[in-house]
Structure 1
Amino acid sequence: MIKNWKAVLFDMDGTLIDSEWFYYKAWRAALKEYGFALGSELWLNDLAGKTDGQAFELLHNTYAFDADREAFFETVRTRIAQQHDEESVPLMPGASDLIHFLHEREIIMAVVTSSKREVAIYHLERNVIRHFFSVLVTRTDVKQPKPDAEPYLRCLEELGLAGDDCLVLEDSLTGTTAAKSAGLTCFGVQSHEAIRQTLTVERTFDNLHEVREFLEKV
């Protein structure tokens, strides 16, 4: 164990996989077709970490974005598919080192994400890290996604561990809210200072390199 933790539960997008800008570009291009200019601050502060449905509802309720929901999502999917043909989505800085550090110490690892199961598997397999994770909980597997506690509670159930046994790594308010609602210790890993200050967590870090350095000391 590291301290009292038997397992580390990773968020995926923006924490484990450097995908936030990838999806930002796709959503920005799709919204541009509808005459809506999506700025990076709006994406990072309000949309990142949310499901597609949650993001759409926020745009509709807060910014009067009034498009056909399914038609818009098809536009987004088309943009994402085009980008996948042109570029890959890499791991976040320090992710590989941290995963191997935990693996060598026989710490259980899991992924808890708001992405759909097929999308999560695609990214994890493409980066050759799927085999490190004992459990994968996705939006597909739950009734209530983050910020609800259900994804993390389901992960605990599948792992057969108590909340005190687990450490969560998250990058967004949506994710940290879910982890804390489940009663878990959560570290915020976020390079943007303004977002980092909004996270109610035990500790914050700029990147996963810093997380590894901290875990080595404890």
Structure 2
Amino acid sequence: MPVFAIFTKYFKKHMIKNWKAVLFDMDGTLIDSEWFYYKAWRAALKAYGFALGSELWLNELAGKTDGQAFEFLRSKHGFEANREEFFEQVRAHIAQQHEEETVPLMPGASDLIHFLHQREITMAVVTSSKREVAIYHLERNGIRHFFSVLVTRTDVQWPKPNPEPYLRCVQELGLAGEDCLVLEDSLTGTEAANSAGLTCFGVQSHESIRQMLNVDRSFDNLHEVREFLEKL
């Protein structure tokens, strides 16, 4: 086979368009965990007389770290509680829910992961969850081995919406920013990706939130992302 043909075949296999890597947000993008954590926060807040609605959770709290979410409730909604005592209650509810249910992958996640893996596209996870939590969910769903880099809240000084998590991931991958495609579902995450100068696709089933995302393209689910990438 001519050298040029070998060269072309190699890069077609290792690239989709000009992307060599896909960087996944975890909660709400890769793992269907938003409602899982919503239930835990709703139950913990109820003990303080605070009714957490689903719209407030999805529009303002999803995608934030626990600390960011707590500060938002304190500053914007006057929520007053001892921070550590409150988080102990949240963790207790989460532990109980883990005994009762498994947090599944988002629809289309497994299909997209295997599609990218077959084409030898590098994959990474960039999440605002703590490292031990991220590893737990990825391993429990049997997908940890697909991701060559994992950047979590534990690994950075400034979590999303700061660009540090994505900049760190790109650096660890040894790639240029233009080589990477980000998949995100929240305002916090898309702001981080945009600030890092990366191409970002929004993947969000809630139309009202999807329309607010400042992204290069928007999709309802990961099935649609796979179909789009397959056509490139």
Q: Could you state the TM-score of these two structures normalised by the residue count of structure 2? A: 0.94
Deviation at 1:55, TM superposition (A): 0.1
Q: Which amino acid aligns with 1:105?
A: R
Deviation at 1:19, TM superposition (A): 0.1
| In the alignment, structure 1 residue 83 sits paired with structure 2 residue 88 | no
Deviation at 1:138, TM superposition (A): 0.1
Name 1:134's counterpart in structure 2.
Answer: 148
Name 2:121's counterpart in structure 1.
Answer: 107
Q: Which amino acid aligns with 1:115?
A: S
CA distance in 2, matches of 1:22, 1:107: 30
Deviation at 1:30, TM superposition (A): 0.3
CA distance in 2, matches of 1:142, 1:148: 10
CA distance in 1, matches of 2:174, 2:44: 41
Q: Which amino acid aligns with 1:143?
A: Q
CA distance in 1, matches of 2:220, 2:20: 23
Deviation at 1:36, TM superposition (A): 0.3
Q: Which amino acid aligns with 2:88?
A: E
| In the alignment, structure 1 residue 27 sits paired with structure 2 residue 41 | yes
Segments of 4+ moved more than 2 angstroms: none
Match of 2:164 among 143, 150, 163: 150
CA displacement, residues 73-124 of structure 1 (integer Å, 9 cap, x when unaligned): 0000000000000000000000000000000000000000000000000000
| 2:218 match: secondary structure | strand
| Percent identity of equivalent pairs | 84
Deviation at 1:54, TM superposition (A): 0.1
Match of 2:59 among 39, 45, 54: 45
CA distance in 1, matches of 2:93, 2:47: 11
Point out the structure with max Rg over C-alpha.
Answer: 2
CA distance in 1, matches of 2:95, 2:47: 16
How many residues of Structure 1 are paired with residues of Structure 2 in the alignment? 218
| In the alignment, structure 1 residue 196 sits paired with structure 2 residue 210 | yes
Question: Following superposition of structure 1 onto structure 2, how do residues 173-188 of structure 1 map, counting pairs within 5 Å?
Answer: 173-188=187-202
| In the alignment, structure 1 residue 10 sits paired with structure 2 residue 24 | yes
CA distance in 1, matches of 2:160, 2:193: 9
Q: Please, which runs of 5 or more residues in structure 2 have no aligned partner?
A: 1-14
Q: Which amino acid aligns with 1:39?
A: G
| In the alignment, structure 1 residue 167 sits paired with structure 2 residue 172 | no
CA distance in 2, matches of 1:108, 1:171: 20
Name 1:211's counterpart in structure 2.
Answer: 225
Q: Could you state the TM-score of these two structures normalised by the residue count of structure 1? A: 1.00
CA distance in 2, matches of 1:150, 1:182: 8
| 1:36 match: secondary structure | coil
